[in-house]
């Protein structure tokens, strides 16, 4: 059997113990801790950057790609941004303790629900060190203890950030043990975490598709998965083409590296000849590479100076996370719906149309976390939707769908206030 | 690899296809189907009872216990009760389609949530054939397709009931394939179901602790577990002893075989000498067997004609499901809270007290689906709480806690209504 001094076991047990106290912690103490963390991140900028430099150099030596190195990198500006995000979390209302749906039954029993923290949340994530701080802040505010398991490529940065969080929050009243960071790079510890159903209430994987799949399939406790966004925008035959151009341009270009960016543009055949030249000209100026089906190709290829290739089967259902878009001409709303059903990841899907019935059908029939009529899928975001901070975007159906804010990291218990009632 | 003609794969695929249509089905068609099922159960009473007789005889031959045989048994009265329960489900409001939390953002986007079915629900259950009908009815009403996998001990009854459900509902407009029943007794099919993350959205296990544990640990998709209720009632030092007697009596005796019945009575030392003789005399008249710690024993043992034994360690945290109760004397609310924390199953826990602060502490600090002040834990029930029908009682924290009604079998999607908005 495993030794009892195992790091995951010890730290999970400590987190569980802390979670009991954290669940009842007053809002003002939690906010004080968040402000303290925000301050200390700035105060410890030098040591954080030094630790990050070690990870960065090792990443370079190991031949890490530019995009990944950029995700790993911390700068004074980025630390200030992280610090500022924590202040925003402090400013959000505390979801814990809210009592709702309370009503009095005919026998006089008062029955309702009270919002309470989930307990202990495990985060398994890759590269971006800001996740260490973001998730810790959201968990603290929502009254949850957290066990952090970051990727080994950011181990020095994460350790440094975790220490700052602990040193800043424990002295102002956060129960010691509420923020745990797994230091050992031993990969088998992840497998071990995923088995601890009795102590970890929820696992949040953040990273690539492979990590998320591994966690979802192997965790014994609930997992909130998401982040994979294969997003379609469908331009209907009677779309307003100005709106359609602005929306598709924004969805692809405004920030191409994120999950709610457009991956595939579906265009109704009746409007393809008028619409495609407009959008691809705009996309072309922004440097978008286009992978087109044969019908789209016939329209687009003759146009000057565009990066256009024929789409392969792999382009449908692919999350590009870059200035690349797949384009397909379809004959009907039904064909668009079937394509989305088959290739979408249940994240964000949009229709552009002036037809009422087509919009209603799209909103009703597409099975995704966020369905749009006449707007850019880039709005799928906790801040944009008014939730404040988010720990991720869920593409699963249970518990919470779409952006996961503070409230989504809580559960409820039924509160029953009686006066001696018994069941007849 | 597995043959493509595998029963689970074929039926799950059919259920998935049906779930798309079911999700958009009008409420009046769903209700018509439920009434039709209720009628056809009565009309087919003879063939259902004949099928049930086969299971019952085989159970007898196999040496099945009386309690289990009783759970297996169908009678004309029980069929009428099941039929009547379905009519009640038809009478409940349809949760699907409700749009809520809709608001207009500063940029004019309208953002809100719309309640939608989960999709395909898998039910893995044991012995009680009424589960076949109950779960089917609740799933139909909430717009979910269902894959039923009952125990082999009730296979003839379940098959007969499933056929009635299918024959009654498909002709009135329920999409064919919405109700699937796995006929093969091959146990490996359960393992296979639990892997089908892409097609089954939720698994509900109903049965003994072993089944629930197996499903929870092995399912790749979300599971709503529950049903195991180790329920405590704590009598505080300044409880109203009349209320305390009525509540503990009701919680143990009114229906001892169910999950929300009292298992352990905790009594504050200051009140034990006054209270224990009162409750155990009442319990004694009802035939309750009492497993007592040493301090309770010293008070109870001298009393006449009671079934009293010394408690063993196994009695704490045990779900008796019978006229048996464990009794323990504690020195403080803290000791009671610690005992419940250690031995409770997070189902239903009660305090009886006239002390405001003690009641508030109990409600806040006990981590369970339902926490009570001054009422019987027997109220933990969908109907009692005003939800109507329930598919079970969840003791997990994610998605839904406590009684699971129609709403708890749905999820939501974010609906975004725009007018050409793009993200700045």
Task: Give the pLDDT confidence of A341-360 residue by residue, as tens digits.
Answer: 999 999 999 999 999 999 99
Q: What ipTM does the predicted assembly reach? A: 0.89
Q: Rounded to whole angstroms, how far apart are CA atoms B382 and B298?
A: 40
Q: Do B384 and A118 touch (CB under 8 A)?
A: no
**Phi and psi of B320, rounded to 5°?**
-80, -35
Q: Rounded to whole angstroms, how far apart are CA atoms A349 and A367?
A: 9
Lowest average pLDDT, out of A112-116, A118-122, A184-188, goes to A184-188
Q: Rounded to whole angstroms, how far apart are CA atoms A9 and A192?
A: 9
Quick one: pLDDT band at residue B139, thresholds 50, 70, 90? very high
* Whole-structure pTM value: 0.89
Give the length of chain B.
Answer: 424
With the CA atoms of B174, B177, B178 and B184 taken in that order, what torsion angle do they form, in degrees rounded to the nearest 10? Answer: 140
Portions of chain B given CATH number 3.40.309.10:
231-381
Question: Would the pLDDT of B3 be above 60?
Answer: no
Q: How far apart are the CA of A216 and the nearest CA of chain B, in angstroms?
A: 7
- Containing A113, the helix (H) or strand (E) segment is strand A110-117
Q: Rounded to whole angstroms, how far apart are CA atoms B234 and B365?
A: 14
Q: Rounded to whole angstroms, how far apart are CA atoms A51 and A99?
A: 44
Q: Rounded to whole angstroms, how far apart are CA atoms B132 and B90?
A: 17
Q: Do B420 and A246 touch (CB under 8 A)?
A: yes
Q: Do A421 and B375 touch (CB under 8 A)?
A: yes
Please write the tens of the pLDDT for every residue from B228-268: 899 999 999 999 999 999 999 999 999 998 899 999 999 99
- Which of B223, B241, B394, B413 is best to mutate for the A interface (most A CBs within 10 A)? B413
Q: Do B413 and A222 touch (CB under 8 A)?
A: no
Lowest average pLDDT, out of A204-208, A310-314, A347-351, B292-296, goes to A204-208
Q: How far apart are the CA of A133 and the nearest CA of chain B, in angstroms?
A: 24
Domain B7-225+400-417: give its CATH code: 3.40.605.10
Portions of chain A given CATH number 3.40.309.10:
231-382
Please write the tens of the pLDDT for every residue from A301-312: 888 888 999 999
Domain A231-382: give its CATH code: 3.40.309.10
Quick one: pLDDT band at residue A221, thresholds 50, 70, 90? confident
The pLDDT score that the predictor gives to residue A172 is 97
**Chain B residues touching A368 at Cβ < 8 A:** 413
Between B313 and A225, the more confident residue is B313
Q: Rounded to whole angstroms, how far apart are CA atoms B252 and B285?
A: 13
Pairing of strands B402-404, B392-394: antiparallel
The residue in chain A having the minimum alpha-carbon distance to the alpha carbon of residue B367 is A413
**Chain A residues touching B379 at Cβ < 8 A:** 109, 111, 416, 421, 423
**Which of A323-356 are b and which e, b meaning 16 or more Cβ less than 10 Å from the residue's Cβ?**
bbbbbbbbeebebbbebbeebbbbbbbbbbbeee
Placement of tokens 């296990």 in the chain: B205
Between A275 and B390, the more confident residue is A275
The pLDDT score that the predictor gives to residue A2 is 47
Among residues A389, A412, A365, the alpha carbon closest in space to that of A135 is found at: A389
Q: Do B412 and A401 touch (CB under 8 A)?
A: yes
Cβ atoms of B35 and B85 closer than 8 Å = no
Interval A254-261 mean pLDDT: 92
Among residues A77, A142, A155, the alpha carbon closest in space to that of A400 is found at: A142
**Chain B residues touching A116 at Cβ < 8 A:** 367
The residue in chain B having the minimum alpha-carbon distance to the alpha carbon of residue A417 is B373
Portions of chain B given CATH number 3.40.605.10:
7-225+400-417
Question: Would the pLDDT of A227 be above 80?
Answer: no
- Minimal Cβ distance to B246: which of A372, A374, A422: A422
Measure CA of the first residue to CA of the last residue in chain A; give whole Å. 51
Sequence-distant contacts of A24-30: CB under 8 A, at least 24 apart: A24/B364, A24/B365, A25/A143, A25/A173, A25/A174, A25/A175, A27/A94, A27/A96, A29/A172, A29/A173, A29/A174, A30/A90, A30/A94, A30/A140, A30/A141, A30/A143, A30/A174
Q: Rounded to whole angstroms, how far apart are CA atoms A278 and B87?
A: 57
- B231-381: CATH topology is Aldehyde Dehydrogenase; Chain A, domain 2 (3.40.309)
Q: Rounded to whole angstroms, how far apart are CA atoms A232 and A346?
A: 10
Placement of tokens 């779409």 in the chain: A402
**Chain B residues touching A20 at Cβ < 8 A:** 341, 365, 367
């Amino acid at each position: 059997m495993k030794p009892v001094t195992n790091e995951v076991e010890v730290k999970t047990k400590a987190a569980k113990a802390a979670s009991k106290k954290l669940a009842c912690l007053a809002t003002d103490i939690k906010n004080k801790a968040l402000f303290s963390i925000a301050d200390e991140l700035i105060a410890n900028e030098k040591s954080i950057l030094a630790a990050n430099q070690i990870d960065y150099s090792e990443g370079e030596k190991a031949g890490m790609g530019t995009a990944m190195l950029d995700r790993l990198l911390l700068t004074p500006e980025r630390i200030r941004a992280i610090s500022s995000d924590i202040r925003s979390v402090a400013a959000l209302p505390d979801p814990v303790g809210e009592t709702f749906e309370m009503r009095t039954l005919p026998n006089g029993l008062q029955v309702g629900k009270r919002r309470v923290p989930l307990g202990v949340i495990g985060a398994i994530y890759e590269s971006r060190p800001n996740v260490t701080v973001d998730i810790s802040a959201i968990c603290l505010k929502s009254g949850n203890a957290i066990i952090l398991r970051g990727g080994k490529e950011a181990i020095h940065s994460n350790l440094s950030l975790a220490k700052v969080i602990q040193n800043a929050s424990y002295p102002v009243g956060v129960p010691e043990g509420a923020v745990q960071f797994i230091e050992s790079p031993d990969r088998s510890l992840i497998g071990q975490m995923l088995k601890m159903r009795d102590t970890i209430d929820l696992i949040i994987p953040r990273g690539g598709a492979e990590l998320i799949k591994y966690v979802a399939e192997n965790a014994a406790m609930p997992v909130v998965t998401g982040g994979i966004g294969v997003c379609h925008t469908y331009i209907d035959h009677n779309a307003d083409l100005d709106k359609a151009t602005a929306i598709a341009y924004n969805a692809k270009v405004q920030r191409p590296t994120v999950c709610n960016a457009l991956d595939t543009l579906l265009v109704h055949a009746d409007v393809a000849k008028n619409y495609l030249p407009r959008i691809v000209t705009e996309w072309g100026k922004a440097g978008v590479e286009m992978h087109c089906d044969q019908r789209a190709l016939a329209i687009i290829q003759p146009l000057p100076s565009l990066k256009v290739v024929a789409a392969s089967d792999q382009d449908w259902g692919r999350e590009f996370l870059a200035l690349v878009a797949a384009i397909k001409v379809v004959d009907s709303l039904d064909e668009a719906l079937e394509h989305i059903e088959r290739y979408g990841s249940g994240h964000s899907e949009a229709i552009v149309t002036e037809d009422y019935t087509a919009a209603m059908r799209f909103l009703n029939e597409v099975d995704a976390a966020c369905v749009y009529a006449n707007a850019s899928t880039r709005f799928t975001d906790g801040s944009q939707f008014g939730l404040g901070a988010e720990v991720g975007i869920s593409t699963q159906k249970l518990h919470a769908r779409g952006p996961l804010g503070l409230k989504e990291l809580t559960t409820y218990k039924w509160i029953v206030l009686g006066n001696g009632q018994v069941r007849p």
